[in-house]
């Protein structure tokens, strides 16, 4: 059973955390904070959120302490990740899922934050949100109305969001296999989905709408990770598959005649024959057009028309 968090309203406080890599410049952080405050929200930076330990934002213990403190604090109404990067899988074995389930709150992020989404969804049933982060989208002016506007509408209105394409300028996604299917949403960054296989936080795709995005992986690696998911029994039992941005994932011709393959060809070859609706080109992932997708919430993929519709409220 999905647990829905309480909705967000102006005047409420958003806690800012960095559970993976170190945050961007303080200037970028301040731009994002200023935008949220301009819209009427209060913000609170977690105690260790500005720390740096190598490529991580503080030690594992510090990043974990920040997450626990934000879920525990009754004055924090929503938790927003400042950025992704790397590091969330290192936290999972010590994450207090009982605390999170006892204090269900809005939790937002994408990329490496997929690690937390998948685990929290599996262990608590809390609906969390694959969506814009402070420095990646909210601090940036490009397409901010779509990314931030859509996020806040989903978090503040306890009613079905409808099409995630609304306001994106994208008329429809790209059909890979026609059809229409409804199911709960699950998914995220492809690398992180593969990372969870065989762990206590492994996930089910049976009967679900699976959404996938990626950044900075070459075509053969995309092929390898999708093949890994299929070999592990994932995807083929899904209700449908939605593909978002695959940013900087197209291998450039080498000039030496070495063969390559476009991602769309890989998608059609590996996913097109599963007998379920599949569509790509949707606006979520590592680009300015970054729609919010709620985990565990019912959605309909219309791969024939190229649309994804959120069918139920994600907050209460």
The residues assigned a catalytic role are 111, 213, 286
Q: DSSP state, 146?
A: H
Q: Are 272 and 176 in contact (CB under 8 A)?
A: yes
| DSSP H stretches of helix in the chain | 26-38, 60-72, 97-102, 114-124, 144-156, 190-195, 219-231, 263-271
**What order of strands is seen across the sheet that includes strand 240-247?**
162-163, 307-310, 298-302, 180-189, 209-215, 240-247, 278-280, 174-177
Q: In whole angstroms, what is the distance from residue 112 CA to residue 79 CA?
A: 16
Q: In whole angstroms, what is the distance from residue 147 CA to residue 155 CA?
A: 12
Q: In whole angstroms, what is the distance from residue 201 CA to residue 288 CA?
A: 29
Q: In whole angstroms, what is the distance from residue 58 CA to residue 64 CA?
A: 10
Q: DSSP state, 126?
A: B
Q: In whole angstroms, what is the distance from residue 266 CA to residue 74 CA?
A: 47
């Amino acid at each position: 059973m999905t647990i829905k968090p309480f909705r967000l309203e102006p005047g409420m406080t958003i806690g800012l955390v960095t559970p993976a890599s170190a945050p961007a410049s303080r200037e970028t952080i301040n731009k994002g904070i200023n935008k949220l405050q301009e819209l009427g929200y209060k913000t609170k930076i977690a105690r260790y959120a500005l720390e740096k330990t190598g490529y991580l934002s503080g030690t594992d213990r510090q990043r974990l302490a920040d997450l626990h403190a934000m879920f525990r604090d009754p004055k924090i109404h929503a938790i927003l990740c400042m950025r992704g990067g790397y590091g969330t899988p290192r936290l999972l074995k010590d994450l207090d899922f009982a605390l999170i389930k006892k204090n269900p709150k809005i939790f937002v992020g994408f990329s490496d934050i997929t690690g937390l989404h998948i685990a929290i969804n599996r262990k608590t049933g809390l609906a969390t949100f694959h969506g814009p982060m402070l420095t990646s989208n909210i601090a940036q002016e490009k397409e901010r109305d779509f990314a931030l506007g859509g996020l806040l509408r989903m978090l503040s209105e306890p009613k079905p969001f409808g099409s995630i394409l609304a306001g994106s300028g994208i008329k429809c996604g790209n059909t890979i296999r026609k059809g229409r299917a409804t199911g709960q949403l699950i998914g995220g960054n492809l690398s992180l989905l593969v990372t969870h296989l065989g762990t206590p936080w492994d996930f089910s795709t049976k009967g679900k709408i699976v959404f996938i995005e990626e950044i900075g992986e070459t075509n053969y690696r995309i092929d390898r990770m999708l093949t890994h998911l299929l070999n592990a029994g994932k995807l083929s039992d899904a209700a449908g598959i939605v593909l978002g941005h695959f940013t900087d994932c197209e291998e450039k011709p080498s000039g030496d005649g070495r063969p390559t393959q476009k991602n769309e060809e890989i998608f059609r070859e590996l996913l097109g024959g599963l007998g379920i609706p599949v569509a790509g080109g949707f606006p979520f992932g590592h680009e300015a057009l970054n729609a919010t997708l709620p985990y565990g919430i019912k959605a309909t993929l219309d791969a024939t028309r190229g649309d994804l519709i959120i069918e139920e409220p994600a907050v209460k």
